[in-house]
Structure 1
Amino acid sequence: MSRVDDSQSITFTTKDYSPDYSNYLDYDEESSGLCRKSEVRQFVQYFLPPFYFTVFLLGIVGNILIVVLYAYYKRIKTMTDVYLLNLAIADILFLCTLPFWALEAIFGGIFGNFLCKTAKSIYKINFFSCILLLSCISIDRYIAIVKAVKARASKKKILLRSKLTSLVVWVSAVLLSLPEFCFSLQDEAQRSCSTVYPEKTVKAIGFAVQVTAGFFLPFSVMIFCYSMIIWKLLQAKTFQKHRAIKVIGAVVGVFVTTQLPYNSIIIVKAMDAINITITDCQTLKNLDIATQITESIAFLHSCLNPLLYAFVGVTFRKDLLKILKGFGCIRTLIKPQQSTLKLSSPSQTETTGSFLL
């Protein structure tokens, strides 16, 4: 985010750990030995605000459309429906924090201490909830397609289970965001909202938890579930299976492309937090800039979620056309071609219609 998180200042004569309130240290290297980061500050001021506002505008439209479609045209009948609605809400809440961080990047110091903690906590809660909900969607699709008999047997309890699972996701996201609330503060001198860990071990643990819960866990779940789904689809004698496999490839590919670069940087920062291995000023500045770029790329997932998880489905596209027709955007309602994908049971098509059909 614009308040480049959790960096430490260093000197070139000692390896003592000394957490700072900002990554934009503005000291004279020659006189004090501290790394001057005015270049990072300048990059943030010019790069982040337009990027954040663009992501906000693109993402908010798609996710609000999903909420509207569920409210007016589509009844919530399956676990996927519950997860998609929760995912859209989480994306909306997450995206709504971006304009504030854009303003903070431009002007600095717009938050008080409490608002700084609150804003960073809201950001983390919705970040983790989005990622965990993607894992839930993967598991639901795996059960619906690979374990079709089990899916039919639990159909009566499906909504209750999905609501309870969503509740667990939100509670887990709140717990994972607690470090942000505890260690974030507004530094008036540096005019930034930053996360300041009390010691390097706590900082390293915080990074490790973020990478594990925010990338490796959901990525492992997605790889397992979608691999089993592809194996099942390859056994189906239908042309539509190739389209379904392409959709799966897009889902996994987008997740890796948007999330892997940022989490790789987090791993580097976690290792540096433990050993203070990076002592070169230019390397530190490059790492800060790389953090901003890769984290911004990670935010693109909130824009792409509606396309990957909802509007790829025939039902969602049909309902969207109804909305456009209602507003006079189109004159005739185009009836989507019905899919010919045949799985092992009708309930599979119903449960995963927004994903494969």
Structure 2
Amino acid sequence: MEHYDYGYYDYNESSTSVNDAETFCDNSKVTDFKGVYMPSLYAIIFVAGLLGNSLVIVIKVLYEKLKTITDLYMMNLAIADLILLCTLPLWAVDAQIGWTFGTFMCKVVNGVYTVNFYSCVFILTCVTINRYHAIVQATKMLQYKIIHGMFICGGVWVLAIILSLPEFILSDTNVDDPGKITCRMNYPPNSKIFKVGVCVTQMVVGFLIPFVTMIICYTIIAKKLLQAKGFQKHKSLKIIVAVVTVFMICELPFNIALLLQTLQIVSEESRSCEYYANINYAIIVTESIAYIHCCLNPILYVFIGVKFRNNFWKILKDVGCISQKQLHVYLKIECETSQQRSCVSETTVSPL
């Protein structure tokens, strides 16, 4: 996923085209908006995502001991979210004063950012398929062991790195007209097809395929749950609707903006400066909305589970925030409100 520089456009083409007219547009308003909007929002996303995903990793590793494939997926998702979030402070600084971290860090940060974008989406797809097997094909699910999950996660990271090679190779620092240093992709001359290919790959592999997979799998899962009875059926259906809705709200606007930018690249039609500015505004806002998904993943996939909440209370007890007696009360309340047949009775855990 290419991290876009919005204040100044240069497609780096040796030949002149009508799209080059955008180079001469005054993008100072876009740059000013970017310098105020991005750092403030990125700070909120960074803090919220850091707390939520760190908590997921602590509980999955120290309390749940990675016993299932789902635990493994959740930990890898949290790691991918965390690493992606850790790039946001650098992009926030870039938005305000420009890129001050050098060419090497430009390549590393842009590449790492893209690796974790792809890995997040791929792991979410794996979680979707895993839920499909667990609910719709429960008997087959018994054949899967955590070692299979390790190979799948390894394949996800390798594929994400391969898809991110353009960012690692082509990212470079540039000095714009106002003298501001930026970090962005420097495509070779006459490489419009390659640039379009990178954008299309991101839209198809990074959004369309995972989204279609979610729709198909969760539709089948929903039909299966509708045939079941009990309280958990309604809760599971609500979770499914929430997962698909949040993914669509967070990711679809950015991919629409990316599509408009891709069409702008391939089009030979001259556009006004206002049109280019609107595309820039759209990408700035929608890309930041996509980042919010990193904060919501722990809530959608982990926090709403009774088992995770029980372990959260145990963490508070281990660090001294609540007593053993209070822990027992909270676990009892969780047991009663969840309406489960079997509840957690063990309230003593090893300290961190």
TM-score, length of structure 1 as denominator length: 0.86
Q: Determine whether 1:117 maps to 2:107.
A: yes
Matching of residue 50 in structure 1 with residue 52 in structure 2: no
Percent identical pairs in the alignment equals 40
Find 1:214's aligned residue among 206, 212, 223.
Answer: 206
Residue 197, structure 1, aligned to residue 216, structure 2: no
Question: Is 1:245–2:237 an aligned residue pair?
Answer: yes
Match of 2:175 in 1: 188
1:268 is aligned to 260
Structure 2: distance between partners of 1:52 and 1:268:
24
Aligned residue identity for 2:6? V
Report what 1:256 is aligned to. Answer: 248
Aligned ranges 1:132-151 → 2 under 5 Å: 132-151=122-141
| Closer, same or farther: CA 4–175 of 1 in aligned 2, 3 Å | farther
Structure 1 unaligned residues grouped into runs of 5+ = 26-33, 347-357
Within 5 Å, give how 1:84-163 maps onto structure 2: 84-152=74-142, 154-155=143-144, 158-163=145-150
Matched, 1:168 2:155: yes
Q: Secondary structure at the match of 2:173?
A: strand
CA displacement at 1:78 relative to structure 2: 1.5
2:172 is paired with a residue whose SS is: strand
Q: Aligned ranges for residues 316-335 of structure 1 at < 5 Å?
A: 316-331=308-323, 332-333=326-327, 334-335=330-331
CA apart distance, 1:276: 4.0
Q: CA RMSD in A?
A: 2.2
- Which residue number corresponds to residue 290 of structure 1? 282
Deviation readout 1:267-325 (Å, 9 max, x if unpaired): 11111111144511011011101100000000000000100011111110000011112
Shift of 1:139: 0.3
Following TM superposition, the consecutive aligned residue runs of length 4 or more in structure 1 with deviations greater than 6 angstroms are: none
Distance 1:120 1:138 in 2: 28
- The 1:160/1:84 distance shift into structure 2, 3 A limit, reads same
Q: 1:323 to 1:271 in 2, by over 3 A?
A: same
Write the deviation string for residues 126-176 of structure 1: whole angstroms up to 9, x where unpaired: 010000000000000000110011112x14xx1111000000100010011
**1:306 aligned counterpart, secondary structure:** helix
Structure 1 residues 18 and 185: CA distance shift in structure 2, 3 A:
farther
With 180-189 and 293-302 compared, the bigger mean Cα shift is at 180-189
Aligned to 1:15: 17
**Is residue 109–residue 188 contact of structure 1 (8 Å, CA) maintained in 2?**
no
**Alpha-carbon distance in 2 for matches of 1:172, 1:289:** 31
Instruction: Report what 1:351 is aligned to.
Output: none
**Per-residue CA shift, 1:234-257, capped at 9, x if unaligned?**
111112201110011111110000
* CA–CA distance in structure 1, aligned partners of residues 66 and 301 of structure 2: 15
Indicate the SS of the match to 2:335: coil
Aligned 8 A contact 1:5 1:195 in 2: no
SS at match of 1:64: helix
